[in-house]
Amino acid sequence: MTKAPSCPSEFALERLRFGELSGSAQERLLVAHLEGCAECRQRQHAFAEAEPPRLDSAAIWSRASAGHRITQPSWWHRRPMRWYAIAAAGVTAAAVFAWLAPRRVPDTLTKGSAAQLRVIAKLHNGPVMRIEPGAQLSPGDRLRFEVFTHLPEASIALIMLDSAGAVTRLAPREGPSVSIVGQRPVLLDEAVELDGALGGERIVLVSCSHAVDVNEVVAKARRALADVGGDPHRVDRLGTGCDEEAFSITKVEP
Amino acid sequence: MEDVYRRYGAMVLRRARRILADDQLAHDACQDVFVQLLRLGQGWKTPSQVGWLFRTTTNCCLNLIRGTRRRQRFLGMLPPPPVVTPSLPVQLLLRGLPEHLQEIAIYYGLDQMTQQEIALVLGLCQKTVSNRIGELRAWFDEAETAPREKQQ
């Protein structure tokens, strides 16, 4: 797919899609362009729809640890040799990798979660980064959310519980839960800017195989928050009957 | 690592396919990119992850292309290695082009990136990028006029 000279480059569209331009003037320009350019919308849609290639983690790990020179392909690029080597190294490497793989941070609920939540922060002083549960952020930082589900499709809702006892709908802002396609990361359109109230906050992703009444989820979250004295970090499950994954952050002075 | 692969793998593969026009080699290049990423460990600090992946993919592909040329030049007596033939636009773009201009030719000629974007990907100031593009244009101008002069 080619682009017209006046259209943004693939690089610009990909940076937009992956949230690297969040809050910038360039983001606004690109979004405005996309609204008026069907071809670029189609290009971006095609980028988002593309399946990632199969991950051969054993081969990648074995090559990375073997110190193989990537820039000068030699025997590695003789295909039969390579695949024999991968097959041989793969079993061992996969077993070692599975054993050594970092465990999930305990702050994330895992209880058989069908969906995973990742949070991307644009800090008030500029950098954009993926954050881990337990991260310390400051008022003015902006968050975006990426959801991945192993199911073919899931209906999700995202809410935030804060230390002031408030429960906020993050996504969708109104109406019933939204449906997302599974097997690939989905960057939600919604973003939130952290307000000035300091303390713990808990973002909860609720995912179900059927549509969820988000207002009911919010009501249950309010009850759960009240039950633990208003400390979002002490909230366990909301009792929605769906899969829940939580992500805690703490807001501190910049 | 798996998260990064799942997130960016399709973009890297698409780019490698665009440059190499060979599905198997594009997969090889894609794997090369993530091997390099893994070697960085926790130190993947860059102003633009997309930019780092664009640049590393470009270099992995160019290295595959250059590697084949070098083997063909110096090891002609050995059994022939798999030939890496880049896509037609890349072939046309890189034909006879000095190595130090090839990377910028990809970004400028193939990707049609702005000078600002190229500066971000290469980690250079925009002035340097502008100079290199000037050098690239001068090379193409010269390459275009030289055959005509010969004909006259």
Across the strands, what pairs with A201? A162, A249
Q: Quick check: helix, strand or coil at residue A118?
A: strand
The whole-number average pLDDT for the span B37-63 is 88
Nearest partner of B53 among B90, B103, B15, B23, judged by Cα: B15
Q: Do A184 and B6 touch (CB under 8 A)?
A: yes
Give residue A69's pLDDT: 43
* Beta-strand relationship, A135-137 and A153-162: unpaired
Give residue B52's pLDDT: 95
Give residue A203's pLDDT: 93
Please say if the pLDDT value at position B40 is more than 50.
Answer: yes
Question: Higher-confidence residue: A90 or A149?
Answer: A149
Q: How confident is the model at residue A88 (pLDDT cuts 50, 70, 90)?
A: low
Give the closest-approach CA distance of B70 to chain A in angstroms. Answer: 10
Q: Do A55 and B9 touch (CB under 8 A)?
A: yes
Q: How confident is the model at residue A107 (pLDDT cuts 50, 70, 90)?
A: very low
Element (H, E) at A188: strand A186-193
Q: Do B49 and A60 touch (CB under 8 A)?
A: no
Give residue A231's pLDDT: 85
How far apart are the C-alpha atoms of A146 and B6, rounded to whole Å?
12
Pseudo-torsion of CA A182, A183, A188, A194, nearest 10°? 120
**φ, ψ of residue A136 in degrees (nearest 5):** -100, 125
Which residues in chain A are closer than 8 Å to B8, comparing Cβ atoms? 18, 52
The whole-number average pLDDT for the span B52-60 is 95
Give residue A105's pLDDT: 36
Give residue A112's pLDDT: 45
Select the residue of B7, B49, B114 nearest A9 (Cβ to Cβ). Answer: B114
Q: How confident is the model at residue A6 (pLDDT cuts 50, 70, 90)?
A: confident
How far apart are the C-alpha atoms of A229 and A1, rounded to whole Å?
56
The answer to whether residues A234 and A228 touch, using CB atoms and an 8 Å cutoff, is: yes
User: Under 8 Å CB-to-CB from B7, ≥6 apart: which residues?
Assistant: A18, A52, A146, A185
The whole-number average pLDDT for the span B62-87 is 61
How far apart are the C-alpha atoms of A236 and B140, rounded to whole Å?
65
Select the residue of B10, B14, B32 nearest A70 (Cβ to Cβ). Answer: B32
Give residue A18's pLDDT: 92
Provide the residue type at A127 as one letter: P
Give residue B149's pLDDT: 58
Provide the residue type at A31 as one letter: V
User: Under 8 Å CB-to-CB from B13, ≥6 apart: which residues?
Assistant: A50, A52, A53, B26, B27, B30
Q: Do A73 and B28 touch (CB under 8 A)?
A: yes
Give the closest-approach CA distance of A175 to chain B in angstroms. Answer: 29
Give residue A70's pLDDT: 38
Which residues in chain B are closer than 8 Å to A43, comparing Cβ atoms? none
Phi-psi region of A231 (alpha: psi -120 to 50; beta: other; left: phi over 0): beta
The segment with the largest mean pLDDT, out of A171-185, B13-27, B37-51, B87-101, is B13-27
Taking one residue from A and the other from B, the number of pairs with CB-CB distance under 8 angstroms is: 100
Please say if the pLDDT value at position A101 is more than 80.
Answer: no
| CB-based contact, B75 to chain A, within 8 Å | no
Give residue A226's pLDDT: 86
Select the residue of B2, B39, B64 nearest A73 (Cβ to Cβ). Answer: B64
The answer to whether residues A169 and A136 touch, using CB atoms and an 8 Å cutoff, is: no
Which residues in chain B are closer than 8 Å to A5, comparing Cβ atoms? 112
The whole-number average pLDDT for the span B84-105 is 80
Give residue B95's pLDDT: 82
Which residues in chain B are closer than 8 Å to A68, comparing Cβ atoms? 35
Per cent of chain A over pLDDT 90 is 17
A contact set with B (CB within 8 A): 3, 5, 9-12, 14-15, 18, 20, 47, 50-53, 55-57, 59-61, 63-64, 68, 70-73, 77-79, 118, 146, 148, 184-185
The answer to whether residues B105 and B89 touch, using CB atoms and an 8 Å cutoff, is: no
> DSSP of A217-237, one letter per residue?
HHHHHHHHHHHTTT-GGG---
For residue B18, what is the nearest residue in chain A, using CA coordinates? A1
Question: Higher-confidence residue: B23 or B77?
Answer: B23
Predicted confidence (pLDDT) per residue in A163-177, tens digit:
888 898 998 888 888
Please say if the pLDDT value at position A192 is more than 90.
Answer: no
Give residue B68's pLDDT: 59
For residue B55, what is the nearest residue in chain A, using CA coordinates? A11
Element (H, E) at B133: helix B126-151
The whole-number average pLDDT for the span A228-243 is 86
- The sign of the CA dihedral A160, A162, A167, A169 is negative
Predicted confidence (pLDDT) per residue in A13-37, tens digit:
999 999 999 889 999 999 999 999 9
Q: Do B39 and A64 touch (CB under 8 A)?
A: yes
Please say if the pLDDT value at position B57 is more than 90.
Answer: yes
- DSSP state letter for A54: P
